[in-house]
């Protein structure tokens, strides 16, 4: 958490928060949102600083470069003020939420500003407004479900608000307006403002989801519309009902992600129909006739099949110990054979007719089998979690037969639970201690409860999913704090390392050109280098780095004999200030304080001798290092080897650049061991990628080229993080298409 900004806001608003003017839940949400936005905004400003620095480095003219440096300076100076203004403005949104008309999903995705109104503003304002509208529209579409729920819940909790004039202090348009208001104090041009808006979109607006979900969670815990439902254009946006919706035709209760998932439902339904058509095509190719027209068959389906399946045991025969469900290897249950055995047992009651499944149910059984075949081959799941999920084949079959919307509805409770288990288990490594791992225990407990308690009521999956998501939220909050500290620590360490390397390289380069006495080299390498190191670290605040480098150049120049009158006059002007700067810097870093006076006296003596040594000018001329040619040739050979290496990994560098913050990867070691970790930070200054484990602790760091080499050697795998069932359906479609030619 951004402690500084969070404490600042809380200090200013503690009195208002405790006065009872706002409901307790709103105060909790406000404090969480303000602190969270403060953290995200810091990342945006850091990215702006990096972008402007890069643009300045690549500027085509001095004027253009100065413009970017001036913008950097302006933003650095006023950054804290902008952050405070923004957080105060967000706090005011909760104190006095702006009222707006009734908002539907269609209005959520509409453009906030009309073309007619845009035509009335200037070119610069137009560009800014277009960028602003774009980020607002995108976020409204992306977070449509959570926004609708928050709108309904906030409208319920705030006094004097009804459905005709709902409020939502966390609406993207309000937050964006607060930011635009805050940056009015920045005297920068339109291009820099657009860069600022772009990074605000990337780091703040695009990450609103976690804050929206947390706000919904707080209000749900307070009992404010805990079962939100959305019934389309004609219906209301929510019902104050505590009843859990039945499965199938009666619809499902929506979770914080359910409304958002409805848009995907049409796609899933179309995919399910496509799969059924391909399966039907396979049957027709084998010459099968519709079973309903065969008088010798008793076609079983619907409620009759559900009743038969209730007699099927939950677990597969290989499970003997519920205390450790991950023992052994994952195996695919022959679901078709298991169902046929049930049908055979029902034969005496069917007047001697051979029992058979209808085509729809047979397709569902085949589809469940294909799904679990994919799951058990999915490299993205860690082995123990893969085994646990494989135990759910029979319960999921019962779910699918009873409620076919499992495949066509992304928000189906059982489907959401499977996706949540897989998503949580992606970072679980084989090396983790199962007996002491809370995540493993939670996944194991969830699977065991399904095997023990599922009796056909799909509401069990909804309950288990809510419990699991609450557990994950608690764990993620802990790991996020640890991860943030890890990132900050690593950024500081790498920046210090970069500073030391820069100082050492610069001094070695400068000192290699001259013959200087050991006492002078000692002052520069062991004393002044510390001053330069601190100046490098503080340069973004104090701008002293160039000054410390200039001291080195001036000292070397003053120790060099000068014969021209003009140069000697300049020497006289430079030396007093040089000695003063050297003493002040060395005192600041407490360098050899007991002998500092003696050292400065010796240095002054050396400078005086150099001033008098006109006759020794030849001896003090620049002399090349011995074996320079040999060194040069060696460096050339190294450079050639580096070019060969760079060419070999060129195609893999693009893959490295495609890895995003938050992506999970797996490293395979030479000894055959492997471990999984998440990309937590990219330190641009050193091209360093920092990876952490599930707990937020640093696991490993690699440079960009190191990662490319790992990819080339096959020792690095980027794990897919999409929803498990979605990926499984895609794989099934691909498999059926290939079989169909």
Residue 401 lies in a domain: yes
Question: According to the model, what pLDDT value does residue 88 have?
Answer: 93
Q: What confidence score (pLDDT) does residue 173 get?
A: 92
Residue 280: which residues within 8 A CB-CB, separation 6 or more? 359, 363
Q: Which residues contact 495 (CB under 8 A, 6 or more apart)?
A: 537, 683, 685
With beta carbons less than 8 A apart as the criterion, state whether 324 and 381 touch: no
Distance CA 381, CA 326 (A): 13
- Residues 136, 278, single domain; the answer is no
- Looking at the DSSP bridge assignments, the partners of residue 665 are 677, 718
Pairing of the two strands 664-668 and 716-718? antiparallel
Is the separation of the CB atoms in 38 and 2 below 8 Å? yes
The answer to whether 420 touches 469, Cβ cutoff 8 Å, is yes
Domain end call among 239, 254, 286: 239
Partners of 688 in beta bridges: 683, 703
The size of the chain, in residues, is: 741
* Rounded Cα distance, 256 and 463, in Å: 14
Q: What is the pLDDT of residue 81?
A: 92
Closest C-alpha among 443, 392, 393, 453 to residue 422? 443
Distance CA 524, CA 577 (A): 17
* Sign of the C-alpha dihedral computed for residues 12, 15, 18 and 19 taken in this order: negative
Residues 162 and 228 in one domain: yes
Long-range contacts formed by 16-22: CB under 8 A, 24+ apart: 16/95, 21/95, 22/94, 22/95
Q: Are residues 120 and 104 in the same domain?
A: yes
If asked whether residues 597 and 546 sit together in one domain, one would say yes
Q: So what's the pLDDT on residue 244?
A: 35
- Calculate the CA dihedral of residues 719, 723, 725, 726 and round it to 10 degrees: -100
For residue 555, report the phi and psi dihedrals to the nearest 5 degrees.
-65, -45
Task: Determine phi and psi for 689, rounding to 5 degrees.
Answer: -105, 125
Q: Are the beta carbons of 544 and 535 closer than 8 angstroms? A: yes
- What six digits make up the tokens of 519? 């006492």
* DSSP strand pairing (664-668 vs 674-683): antiparallel
Torsion of CA 52, 58, 61, 62, to 10 degrees: 50
Q: Return d(Cα 393, Cα 365) in angstroms, integer.
A: 10
- Contact (Cβ atoms closer than 8 angstroms) between residue 237 and residue 148: yes
Beta bridge partners of 2: none
Which neighbouring-strand residues pair with 136?
none
- Which is nearest to 726 in space by CA: 424, 259, 411, 466? 411
- Mark whether 371 and 277 lie in a shared domain: yes
Q: What's the pLDDT at 291? A: 58
User: Is 391 part of any domain?
Assistant: yes
User: How high is the mean pLDDT in each 10-residue block of the chain (741 residues)?
Assistant: 44 43 86 89 89 84 86 91 93 84 43 43 71 87 86 84 81 92 91 91 89 88 73 40 36 41 50 72 62 66 74 60 58 75 68 74 84 84 83 87 82 89 79 65 89 87 92 87 87 86 90 82 88 85 85 87 80 88 87 80 82 53 46 58 70 86 88 86 85 88 89 88 80 77 60
Long-range contacts of 672-680 (CB under 8 A, 24+ apart): 673/431, 674/429, 674/430, 675/429, 675/431, 675/699, 676/382, 676/426, 676/427, 676/428, 676/429, 676/719, 677/427, 678/427, 680/483, 680/486, 680/487
pLDDT at 246: 36
The answer to whether residues 202 and 350 belong to one domain is no
Closest C-alpha to 493, from 685, 694, 693: 685
425 shares its domain with 350: yes
Domain of 201, in residue numbers: 3-239
Domain holding 668: CATH number?
A: 2.30.30.140
Write the DSSP string, 176-212: HHHHHHHGGG----HHHHHHHHHHHHHHTGGGHHHHH
Among residues 376, 289, 295, 291, which one has the least CA distance to residue 330?
A: 376
Phi/psi class of residue 130: alpha, beta or left (left: φ > 0; alpha: ψ in -120 to 50)?
alpha
CA-closest candidate to residue 157, choices 29, 244, 37: 29
Q: 545-559 vs 459-511: helix axis angle to the nearest 10?
A: 20
Same domain? For 557 and 575 the reply is yes
pLDDT score at 331: 64
CB 558 within 8 A of CB 572: no
For the CA atoms of 140, 145, 148, 149, the dihedral, rounded to the nearest 10 degrees, stands at: -140
Instruction: Write the DSSP string, 574-616.
Output: HHHHHHHHHHHHHHHTT-SGGGHHHHHHHHHHHHHHHHH-GGG
In a domain, 251, yes or no: no
- Report how far residue 574's alpha carbon sits from residue 557's, in angstroms, rounded to the nearest whole number: 10
If asked whether residues 224 and 367 sit together in one domain, one would say no
Residues 55 and 160 in one domain: yes
Q: What angle (nearest 5°) sits at the alpha carbon of residue 634, between those of residues 632 and 636? A: 70
* 156/145 Cα distance (integer angstroms): 17
Mention every residue, 6+ apart, whose C-beta is less than 8 A from residue 162.
155
Asked if residue 165 is part of any domain, the answer here is yes
Torsion angle in degrees (nearest 10) through CA of 473, 475, 479, 480? 10
Cα–Cα dist 348/353, whole Å: 8
Q: Are 461 and 449 in contact (CB under 8 A)?
A: no
- Rounded distance between C-alpha atoms, residue 205 and residue 109, angstroms: 15
For residue 6, the model assigns a pLDDT of 45
Whether 630 is in a domain gets the answer no
252 located within any domain: no
Q: What is the pLDDT of residue 728?
A: 83
Residues 30 and 70 placed together within one structural domain of the fold: yes
- For 475-508, b/e burial (b = at least 16 CB within 10 A) is beeebeeebbebbeebbeebeeebbbeebeebbe
Shared-domain flag, residues 521 and 439: no
Which ranges in 426-538 belong to alpha helices (H)? 438-453, 459-511, 518-522, 529-537
Residue 461's nearest CA partner among 602, 255, 662, 288 is 255
Residue 82 contacts residue 183 (beta carbons within 8 Å)? yes
Residue 212: which residues within 8 A CB-CB, separation 6 or more?
Answer: 143, 146, 147, 150, 170, 256
Read off the DSSP letter of residue 671.
Answer: T
Structural domain count, the chain: 4
């Amino acid at each position: 958490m951004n402690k500084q900004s969070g404490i600042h806001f809380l200090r200013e608003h503690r009195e208002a928060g405790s006065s009872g003017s706002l409901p307790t839940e709103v105060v909790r949400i406000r404090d969480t949102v303000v602190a969270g936005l403060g953290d995200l905004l810091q990342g945006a400003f850091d990215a702006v600083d990096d972008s402007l620095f890069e643009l300045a480095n690549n500027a085509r003219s001095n004027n253009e470069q100065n413009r970017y440096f001036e913008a950097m300076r302006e933003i650095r100076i006023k950054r804290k003020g902008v952050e405070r203004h923004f957080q105060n403005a967000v706090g005011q949104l909760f104190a006095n939420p702006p009222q707006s008309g009734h908002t539907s999903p269609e209005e959520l995705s509409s453009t906030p500003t009309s073309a007619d109104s845009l035509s009335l503003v200037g070119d610069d304002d137009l560009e800014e407004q277009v960028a602003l509208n774009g980020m607002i529209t995108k976020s409204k579409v992306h977070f449509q479900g959570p926004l609708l729920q928050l709108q309904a819940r906030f409208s319920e909790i705030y006094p004097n608000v009804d459905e005709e004039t709902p409020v939502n202090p966390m609406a993207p348009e309000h937050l964006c307006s607060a930011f635009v208001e805050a940056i009015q104090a920045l005297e920068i041009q339109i291009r820099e403002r657009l860069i600022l808006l772009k990074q605000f979109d990337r780091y703040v607006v695009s990450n609103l989801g976690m804050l929206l979900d947390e706000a919904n969670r707080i209000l749900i815990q307070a009992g404010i519309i805990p079962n939100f439902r959305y019934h389309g254009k004609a219906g209301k946006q929510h019902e104050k009902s505590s009843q859990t919706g039945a499965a199938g035709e009666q619809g499902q209760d929506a979770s914080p992600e359910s409304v958002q998932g409805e848009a995907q439902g049409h796609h899933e339904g179309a995919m399910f129909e496509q799969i059924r058509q391909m399966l039907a095509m396979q049957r027709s190719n084998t010459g099968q006739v519709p079973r309903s027209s065969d008088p010798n068959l008793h076609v079983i389906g619907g409620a009759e099949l559900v009743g038969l399946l209730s007699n099927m045991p939950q677990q597969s025969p290989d499970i003997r110990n519920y205390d450790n469900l991950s023992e052994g290897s994952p195996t695919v249950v022959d679901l078709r054979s298991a169902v046929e055995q049930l049908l055979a047992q029902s034969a005496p009651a069917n007047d001697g007719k051979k029992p058979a499944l209808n085509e729809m149910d047979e397709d569902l059984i085949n589809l469940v089998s294909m799904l679990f075949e994919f799951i058990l081959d999915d490299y993205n799941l860690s082995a123990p979690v893969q085994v646990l999920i494989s135990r759910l084949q029979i319960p999921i079959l019962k779910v699918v037969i009873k409620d076919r919307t499992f495949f066509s509805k992304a928000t189906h409770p059982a489907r959401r639970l499977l996706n949540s288990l897989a998503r949580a288990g992606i970072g679980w490594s084989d090396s983790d201690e199962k007996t002491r791992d809370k995540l493993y225990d939670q996944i194991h407990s969830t699977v065991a409860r399904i095997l023990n308690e599922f009796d056909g009521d799909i509401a069990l999956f909804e309950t288990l999913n809510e419990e699991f998501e609450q557990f994950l939220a608690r764990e993620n909050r802990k790991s996020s704090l640890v991860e943030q500290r890890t990132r900050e620590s690593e950024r500081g360490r790498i920046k210090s390392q970069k500073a030391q390397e820069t100082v050492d390289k610069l001094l070695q380069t400068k000192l290699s050109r001259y013959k200087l006495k050991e006492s002078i080299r000692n002052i520069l390498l062991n004393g002044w280098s510390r001053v330069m190191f601190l100046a490098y670290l503080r340069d973004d605040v104090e701008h002293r780095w160039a000054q410390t480098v200039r001291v080195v150049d001036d000292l070397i120049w003053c120790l060099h004999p000068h014969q021209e009158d003009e140069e000697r006059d300049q020497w006289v002007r430079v030396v007093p200030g040089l000695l003063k700067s050297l003493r002040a810097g060395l005192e600041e870093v407490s360098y050899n304080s007991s002998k500092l006076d003696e050292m400065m006296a010796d240095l002054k003596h050396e400078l005086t001798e150099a001033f008098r040594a006109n006759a020794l000018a030849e001896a003090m001329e620049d002399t090349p290092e011995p074996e320079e040619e040999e060194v040069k040739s060696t460096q050339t050979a190294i450079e050639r080897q580096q070019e060969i290496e760079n060419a070999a990994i060129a195609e893999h560098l693009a893959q490295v650049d495609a890895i995003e913050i938050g992506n999970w990867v797996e490293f395979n070691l030479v000894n055959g061991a492997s471990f999984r970790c998440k990309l937590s930070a990219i330190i641009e200054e050193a091209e360093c990628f920092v990876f952490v484990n599930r707990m937020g602790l640093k696991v490993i760091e690699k440079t960009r080229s190191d990662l490319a080499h790992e990819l080339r050697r096959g020792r690095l795998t980027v794990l897919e993080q999409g929803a498990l069932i979605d990926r499984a359906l895609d794989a099934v479609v691909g498999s059926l298409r290939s079989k169909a030619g």
